[in-house]
């Protein structure tokens, strides 16, 4: 095979592998943002975290939030709920950032898939 | 026992599902720390061949192997074998489970995180896998979202959660009824594949139980992730929570690495090869 063609095909394989790994990371990140509490499912998005922080700042002891399935949920300890949501977001985001950095620094298919 | 995991394993002439079940149970112990019940026809085989199985499996339940059908099992893109497939015992999980709250998983579903534990604190009586991700995220050709082109959403019996409850009993009873009358339901739901599949039976049962309509209200989505690799993909290696695979793209492969993700490995041959390597050190 022509060397120029071979190099181009190798690069194309690398880009395809890298794109797939980035997609996997993003999907895992979204999954890691899910937080379960009171038997319900919530997603720790910046909007939701801010909203819960606002509720906490009002000094309410018990609040109602809507879960990811549109079901209303009584939250008994809003401060704790806020703390857990924020922790979920911070942990998921920093894991995503670290793994993304590793992918970006790998310049070969072997490096991207190595265990 | 209140919470636990149930596995089914019935070997055929080439695939050792019992061996897979032990490896699967090993991961269950590591990531979920739950008791495991194995339902199988190979009670003597497991004791004779894998005496260490008691490290991972807490309860063995004998049942005769269900009637099999013939299925083509691929091992990557280029090779395949037609083998017997004995998969129709799943609808008896409700009656056979020794647990109050049960997670049923396929033996080729490998757990690498603890997200499924959330099932046990939910208020749901029945949950089943629906959403999935292909390990080749660019592959738009494979579509497992419906049981047939013109029909209903597909649910995966690969992962099921149920409590001993009236709702769960009803759905398992209905699934048994669908299994017994499969030719009829296969025609009604326009399923082209002739062999019985648990995924289809549960999908039909869910559709019937929610009033013959599509609705996201019930059953609720299972917690956690389900990555799917087809039998045309190849499992290369697993180290700790990292899985290295080759995903097929047409007639070529793409290298893939998954970390801390639950994965359904449909290529039983490459899974068995890996487990042989793992167990050679036991």
B257–A28: do the CB atoms touch at under 8 Å? no
Helices B166-180 and B198-209: angle between axes, nearest 10 degrees: 120
Inter-chain CB pairs, A–B, below 8 Å: 67
Tokens of A48: 């939701």
Kindly report, residue by residue over B188-207, the tens digit of the pLDDT. Answer: 999 988 889 999 999 999 99
A21–B256: do the CB atoms touch at under 8 Å? yes
Residue A111: what pLDDT?
Answer: 87
The verdict on A17 touching B (C-beta cutoff 8 Å) is yes
Kindly report, residue by residue over B238-264, the tens digit of the pLDDT. Answer: 999 999 999 998 888 999 999 999 999
Helices A78-105 and A3-32: angle between axes, nearest 10 degrees: 170
Kindly report, residue by residue over B140-167, the tens digit of the pLDDT. Answer: 767 788 988 888 999 999 999 999 999 9
Question: What is the distance in angstroms between the Cα of A5 and the nearest Cα belonging to chain B?
Answer: 17
Residue B275: what pLDDT?
Answer: 96
Confidence of residue B5 (pLDDT cuts 50, 70, 90): very high
Residue B1 above 70 pLDDT?
no
A19–B257: do the CB atoms touch at under 8 Å? no
Instruction: Return the percentage of chain A with pLDDT > 90, whole number.
Output: 71
Identify the helix (H) or strand (E) that includes residue B157. strand B156-163
Query: B232-241: string of b/e by CB count within 10 Å (b at 16+)?
Result: bbbbbebeeb
Q: ipTM higher than 0.90? A: no
Q: Where are the alpha helices (DSSP H) in A1-108?
A: 3-32, 46-57, 78-105
The verdict on B261 touching A (C-beta cutoff 8 Å) is yes
Contacts of A76 (CB under 8 A, 6+ apart): A61, A62
The CATH fold assigned to B3-279 is Spore Coat Polysaccharide Biosynthesis Protein SpsA; Chain A (3.90.550)
Residue B149: what pLDDT?
Answer: 82
Residue A115 above 90 pLDDT?
no
Look up the pTM and report it.
0.93
Question: What is the distance in angstroms between the Cα of A31 and the nearest Cα belonging to chain B?
Answer: 7
The verdict on A71 touching B (C-beta cutoff 8 Å) is no
Tokens of B29: 């112990």
Mean pLDDT (chain A) is 92
* Dist CA B80 CA B73 (whole Å): 5
């Amino acid at each position: 095979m022509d060397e120029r063609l071979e190099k181009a095909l190798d690069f194309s394989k690398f880009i395809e592998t890298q794109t797939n790994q980035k997609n996997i990371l993003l999907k895992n990140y979204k999954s890691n943002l899910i937080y379960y509490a009171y038997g319900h499912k919530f997603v720790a998005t910046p909007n939701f975290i801010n909203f819960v922080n606002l509720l906490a700042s009002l000094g309410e002891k018990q609040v109602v939030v809507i879960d990811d399935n549109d079901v209303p949920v009584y939250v008994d300890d809003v401060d704790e709920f806020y703390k857990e949501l924020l922790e979920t977001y911070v942990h998921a985001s920093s894991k995503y950032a670290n793994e993304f950095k590793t992918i970006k620094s790998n310049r070969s298919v072997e490096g991207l898939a190595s265990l | 026992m209140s919470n636990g995991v149930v596995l089914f394993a019935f070997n055929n002439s080439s695939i050792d599902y019992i061996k897979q079940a032990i490896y699967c149970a090993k991961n269950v112990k590591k990531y979920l720390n739950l008791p495991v019940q194995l339902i199988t026809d190979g009670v003597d085989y497991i004791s004779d061949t894998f005496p260490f199985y008691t490290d991972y499996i807490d309860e063995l339940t004998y049942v005769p192997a269900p009637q099999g059908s013939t299925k083509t099992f691929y091992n990557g893109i280029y090779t395949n074998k037609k083998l017997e497939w004995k998969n129709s015992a799943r609808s008896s999980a409700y009656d056979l489970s020794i647990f109050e709250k049960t997670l049923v998983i396929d033996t080729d579903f490998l757990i690498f995180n603890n997200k499924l534990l959330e099932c046990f604190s939910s208020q749901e009586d029945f949950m089943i896998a629906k959403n999935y991700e292909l390990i080749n995220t660019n592959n738009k050709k494979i579509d497992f979202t419906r049981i047939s082109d013109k029909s209903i959403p597909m649910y995966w019996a690969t992962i099921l959660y149920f409590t001993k409850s009236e709702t769960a009993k009803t759905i398992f009873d209905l699934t048994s009824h669908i299994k017994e009358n499969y030719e009829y339901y296969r025609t009604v739901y326009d399923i082209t594949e002739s062999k019985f599949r648990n995924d289809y039976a549960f999908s039909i049962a869910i559709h019937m139980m929610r009033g013959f309509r599509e609705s996201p209200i019930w059953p609720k989505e299972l917690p956690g992730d389900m990555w799917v690799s087809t039998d045309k993909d190849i499992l290369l290696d697993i180290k700790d929570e990292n899985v290295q695979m080759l995903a097929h793209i047409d007639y070529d492969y793409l290298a893939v690495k998954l970390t801390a993700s639950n994965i359904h490995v449909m290529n039983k041959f490459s899974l068995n090869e890996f487990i042989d390597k793992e167990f050679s050190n036991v």
